[in-house]
Amino acid sequence: MNKLRPDIRSLSKLQIEDFFSLNNKPKFRANQVYEWLWKHRVLDFNLMTSLSIDDRLLLDSTFSINSLTLHDYKSSLDGTVKFLFQLNQNKVVEGVLIPHRNRYTACISSQAGCSLACTFCATGKLKLYKNLSAGEIYDQVFLINEFSLRKFNKPITNIVYMGMGEPFLNSTNVLNSISHITSKQGLNISAKRITVSTAGIVKIIKRIADLNPKFNLAISLHSANDKVRTKIMEINKSNSLKDLAIAIDYFYHKTKIKPTYEYILLNGINDSIQDAKDLIDFCKKTPSKVNLIEYNQVANIPYQKSSKRSTKIFMDLLEKNKILVKFRRSRGEDIGAACGQLATQNKK
């Protein structure tokens, strides 16, 4: 990373326009530069061939372009691909491509490590190393999309912010990355195809609702009982279910977007009939959907997936109570790419 020159990808298009104005250059140059940076992901000013040589030199002497690179990848027997992306200083973050029927979903990271330490999650065992920049988040999507085009001849269809980290503890960079992904001069992917998943940072859910976002919101709920939830998700101590429900309802009424509750079924922890009833009550507060997720074994974490029988009873009870529910089977478990398994932080 060049510490002396600012990263041009941390600037908005307006800020790039201001830069050109200050240097007595036409503002439309900013459009050209923006497209080179985001649509084409050109990381060398000298390759921006629609700019004059003078302009390229000016940019090169003023800015740097920081990026993340693809270091390695592994493919699962079920087609899922796990990527290792390299940051500076030997650190890596992980992303995943999940091909399933007509969907090609990119699961990306928003932080290197995580500060929240949910007890069922491998990333939670790592310390937070840093918030990823908007460019580093965007690069994961861009590189996974390129891979998908090469390997499957299909572009990615969906993006989920469900990799390493808590997106709403890096909300400015996450929102900026979404604006580049959705921009016609970026990847031009509809916000409706993007889902941001949070462990439930109440204050930020409300703040983002006020911005009237178009992307989908998922809540890592995993229990609708304060006692149980606090045991498995420390964040519940400071962001209780009562406050979370109020924030979610606020989000729904501002945006008309139904939140999805992610619920990993853990044997003997959150999969009883009473747990299902608590979840039903919680769901009835705001129009919503539920994804029941099969737990993926993580080394040194003592939880186990729920039995087939408990899963069926739990799901049937939700359906009987008219809750929109889907069951998500584990994918990419054999390569450590499944939900809750992402944990590499240092380059191997």
Q: Are 8 and 59 in contact (CB under 8 A)?
A: yes
- CA torsion angle 123 126 127 132 (round to 10): -50
199 touches ligand SF4 by CB under 6 A: yes
Of the two residues 58 and 244, which places its CB atom closer to ligand SF4 in the complex? 244
Q: Which one of the listed residues 94, 136, 166, 262 is annotated catalytic?
A: 94
The contacts of residue 101 (CB under 8 Å, 6+ apart) are none
Name the segment binding ligand SF4 (CB under 6 A); options: 69-77, 162-170, 182-190, 302-310: 162-170
Q: For 310, list phi and psi in degrees, rounded to 5.
A: -60, -40
Rounded least distance, CB 220 to ligand SF4, Å: 6
The contacts of residue 259 (CB under 8 Å, 6+ apart) are 216, 217, 218, 219, 248, 251, 252, 286, 288, 289
For residues 159 and 181, give the distance between their C-alpha atoms in angstroms, rounded to a whole number. Answer: 10
What would the x/- binding string for ligand SF4 be over residues 231 to 260, using CB under 6 A? ------------------------------
Site for ligand SF4 in 49-68 (CB under 6 A): none
Of the two residues 107 and 199, which places its CB atom closer to ligand SF4 in the complex? 199
Rounded least distance, CB 172 to ligand SF4, Å: 18
271 touches ligand SF4 by CB under 6 A: no
For residues 138 and 144, give the distance between their C-alpha atoms in angstroms, rounded to a whole number. Answer: 10
Rounded least distance, CB 277 to ligand SF4, Å: 24
Of the two residues 117 and 324, which places its CB atom closer to ligand SF4 in the complex? 117
For residues 246 and 209, give the distance between their C-alpha atoms in angstroms, rounded to a whole number. Answer: 12
| Distances in whole angstroms, Cα of residue 205 to Cα of each of 179, 182, 225 | 18, 20, 20
165 touches ligand SF4 by CB under 6 A: yes
Tell me, yes or no, if 94 is annotated catalytic.
yes
For residues 321 and 158, give the distance between their C-alpha atoms in angstroms, rounded to a whole number. Answer: 29
Q: At what angle do helices 202-209 and 241-255 cross, to 10 degrees?
A: 10
Q: Are 83 and 95 in contact (CB under 8 A)?
A: yes
Tell me, yes or no, if 339 is annotated catalytic.
yes
For residues 229 and 243, give the distance between their C-alpha atoms in angstroms, rounded to a whole number. Answer: 14
Please measure the distance between the N-terminal and C-terminal CA atoms of the chain and give it in whole angstroms. Answer: 20
Of the two residues 199 and 265, which places its CB atom closer to ligand SF4 in the complex? 199
Of the two residues 140 and 182, which places its CB atom closer to ligand SF4 in the complex? 140
Rounded least distance, CB 59 to ligand SF4, Å: 36
What would the x/- binding string for ligand SF4 be over residues 94 to 133, using CB under 6 A? --------------------x-xxx--x-xx---------
For residues 283 and 244, give the distance between their C-alpha atoms in angstroms, rounded to a whole number. Answer: 12
Rounded least distance, CB 27 to ligand SF4, Å: 41
Rounded least distance, CB 239 to ligand SF4, Å: 12
Of the two residues 55 and 271, which places its CB atom closer to ligand SF4 in the complex? 271
Rounded least distance, CB 102 to ligand SF4, Å: 27
Of the two residues 124 and 332, which places its CB atom closer to ligand SF4 in the complex? 124
Beta-carbon count within 10 A of 61 CB: 9
How many chain residues touch ligand SF4 (CB under 6 A)? Answer: 12
Q: Which one of the listed residues 107, 114, 121, 339 is annotated catalytic?
A: 339
> Hey, which residues are catalytic here?
94, 339
- Site residues for ligand SF4 per CB under 6 A: 114, 116-118, 121, 123-124, 164-166, 199, 220
